[in-house]
Amino acid sequence: MSDLGDFTDFDPDDEGDPPTDGGQETTTGTSDGASDGAVDDSTDAGQDTEAPTDTAADPETTATTAASGPQEGSDGFEAVEVSPAGVDSGLGVVSATEGLRISEDSQETELRAYVTVENRSAVRIGKYLLVPYPDGERLFCRITALEYAQEFRADDATEIHARRAMRQDGIDEQDFKFVATLEPVAVLYSEGGELKRRMTDRVPKPETAVREATDTGEIKTGLKIPAEGVFLGHLAVGGETVRTAAEPPTIDYRLKDDYADGDPLVFRHTLVAGGTGSGKTHTAKNVLRQYLADGRTYPVADENREASPCLVMFDPQDEYAQLHDDNPDIDDAFARRLEREGVAYGGVEDTVAFVPEVAGASYAASDHRAEQVAFTVPFSMVHDNPWLIAGSSLNGNQYNALKHLLGRFRRQHGGDATYRQFTSFLDDPALREELDETGRVHEATFNAVKRRALGFDGIFDQDARPITDLVHEFVRAGGVSVVPTYHINNSRSTATVVLALAALLVDQKLSNDPDYPRIEETPLVLGLDEAHNFLAEADSVQGERIIGKFTEAAKQGRKERLGLFLVTQDPQDIAEPVFKQVNTTVVLNLGDEDAISAVNIPPSLEQKVPYMEKGQMVVYSPDNSEPVELVGLPECLTDHE
């Protein structure tokens, strides 16, 4: 660099700023304006001179020049000067021609790099680059735009130009400037031997060589990716994993999972959104599998110990009980790779399918070997959550009447009385009359409530153990409890079962005086596939209660160790208050515009979403890292069919 630097410093003065852009293309002293051939070669050589920065690429350029450029000799020293200095290869240099400014206001930031000819075909929007400062600090940035601009003032929109161009293979790159617009991400600096980042607070010098970031440490620091945590995938740009010289050459993206700096992100909630068949379940299983890794534990409230989390997964397609089984497609080589990278894989032995017993629905386990335990929802659970039988159309007045009726029923028949008893209780004309006469519940209201409440036959108190008797089996540290609902082909029954169980978990988790301390003391990940079916904004008492409960769960979950893990193809349908509590959003391919804008990710990620192939995802987790694009693992870490 130094030897060439001499020439760079020296040339402009020396040549007295020869024709056009002589300053930069020093060698063009040979008169640019001349014949085509001459221009080609001289500019080509010019690149070489400028290449103090590009040493690695230089020999190549030189070779090309030599091969195609009979005039090379006319440039004199260039060919010789260029080869030595063994510095990093670069893509080009920072250009101040159209402004060079780092500003507090990102709108006013102007940072561009001139990209040298041989690098042009390789640069891509999204790539990560480094621009060094003279004192060793580096500006870490991303390419946000690429453009060709004219090098020489010539009109290429003319007949003669077009005809000539059509006869040629490609263009004369030297006739154009190729400029990359860069977005500064962070300044990297070393302190006490450790690489750190800070906000972009200084401007790089013009003509500084710009190189691609290829060092794992620099990239991870630049993007603020935690070194430890839950593995989500490998860093990528445009669907290609970012490669480094290290082994492995890929960069693992992890989600913070300790208390060093706020609460683990699992308890600050995750959303996986993607269109049909985009790989949501595959991705969800791979992430969830990491939470079930040996040794992953979280402190237990008020106790001096740590516990593994329990995953409770509501499973509309009967896919998650396969978490129990190994994926037969994972071969030894892939397994070694996973081990090297600290990625947990293989079936989780302690996976149990809790099968809701619902009249008219029988469960035939599809392709999994997990144990099955049948359960029923006891009507007694409705006392804590009357909205479970409110249906979706009771108004406030009617809901109060329902609560009144339930209270009275409980006093008369006890807390364990059944749904059938409740229906005969409502069937009593004397009761209706009395309530009407005393002005407690108007007759019409009574009838409306009764109509609603009678539609739950076959759901409560079926022939299986009540879930409330099974809490110790259902919630197990380190275990997976899957609740398949595919066999229930009635959406109201499904919603009632799912919401009853979710409410039980949430209520107990958040209660100061829980009936089931087991729930309270076990770190819990509550997974909901097709979450839009349960958490849609609804204009009814029931809808309000559900959303209220989940919002509360999400807000308090942080400190109570309750993480929501929502999977959906219709993120736009998930109620805003719940949505707002989600810290980590993983987005797979989404085609629907409303869905894309609903996930609320930065525009740079948003525009990639419709083009992503299976396995590609973008992750927006502002408390974890800069927004990134990843490629997920091609194999599911447990069975997935």
Region binding Mg ion by CB under 5 A among candidate stretches 233-241, 258-266, 274-282, 546-554: 274-282
Shorter beta-carbon distance to ligand ATP: residue 62 or 281? 281
CB of 531 to Mg ion, least distance (A): 11
Shorter beta-carbon distance to Mg ion: residue 129 or 323? 323
From the list Mg ion, ligand ATP, none, pick the one residue 634 interacts with, judged by a Cβ distance below 5 to 8 Å according to partner type. Answer: ligand ATP
* Distance separating alpha carbons of residues 486 and 362, to the nearest angstrom: 10
Shorter beta-carbon distance to ligand ATP: residue 274 or 571? 274
The residue within the footprint of Mg ion, chosen from 281, 351, 551, 589 (CB under 5 A), is: 281
> How many of the chain's residues bind Mg ion (CB under 5 A)?
2
Q: What's the Cα-to-Cα distance from 155 to each of 41, 147, 160, 161, 515, rounded to whole Å?
A: 21, 17, 10, 8, 81
Residue with smallest beta-carbon separation from Mg ion: 281
3-state helix, strand, coil in the chain (%, to 5): 40, 20, 40
From the list Mg ion, ligand ATP, none, pick the one residue 277 interacts with, judged by a Cβ distance below 5 to 8 Å according to partner type. Answer: ligand ATP
Q: Check binding of 53 to Mg ion (CB under 5 A).
A: no
Region binding Mg ion by CB under 5 A among candidate stretches 183-191, 255-263, 279-287, 514-522: 279-287
Shorter beta-carbon distance to Mg ion: residue 250 or 616? 616
Shorter beta-carbon distance to ligand ATP: residue 127 or 640? 640
* Distance separating alpha carbons of residues 326 and 337, to the nearest angstrom: 16
Residue with tokens 């949501």: 280
Residues that bind ligand ATP (CB under 6 A): 274, 276-282, 569, 614-615, 632, 634, 636, 640
Shorter beta-carbon distance to ligand ATP: residue 115 or 588? 588
CB of 286 to ligand ATP, least distance (A): 8
Region binding Mg ion by CB under 5 A among candidate stretches 37-45, 275-283, 488-496, 610-618: 275-283
CB of 585 to ligand ATP, least distance (A): 15
List the alpha helices (DSSP H) in 102-189.
159-167
CB of 535 to Mg ion, least distance (A): 17
Q: Buried b vs exposed e over 331-346: b needs ≥16 C-beta within 10 Å? A: eeebeeebeeeebbbe
From the list Mg ion, ligand ATP, none, pick the one residue 402 interacts with, judged by a Cβ distance below 5 to 8 Å according to partner type. Answer: none
Residue with tokens 């669907």: 239
Q: What angle do CA 39, 33, 148 make, to 5 degrees?
A: 65
Strand partners, 101: 110
Q: What's the Cα-to-Cα distance from 202 to each of 130, 186, 205, 292, rounded to whole Å?
A: 14, 10, 10, 44
Say if residue 16 is exposed, middle or buried (CB neighbours under 10 Å; 0-12, 13-18, 19+).
Answer: exposed
- Rg over alpha carbons for the chain, rounded to the nearest Å, is 33
CB of 532 to ligand ATP, least distance (A): 12
CB of 633 to ligand ATP, least distance (A): 6
CB of 271 to Mg ion, least distance (A): 14
- The DSSP secondary-structure symbol of 157 reads S
Provide the terminal-to-terminal Cα distance of the chain, rounded to the nearest Å: 56
Shorter beta-carbon distance to Mg ion: residue 319 or 520? 319
CB of 568 to ligand ATP, least distance (A): 10
E-strand spans in 285-430? 298-299, 306-307, 310-315, 351-356, 371-376
* Distance separating alpha carbons of residues 619 and 583, to the nearest angstrom: 10
Shorter beta-carbon distance to ligand ATP: residue 280 or 368? 280
Q: Provide the binding-site residues for Mg ion, judged by CB under 5 A.
A: 280-281
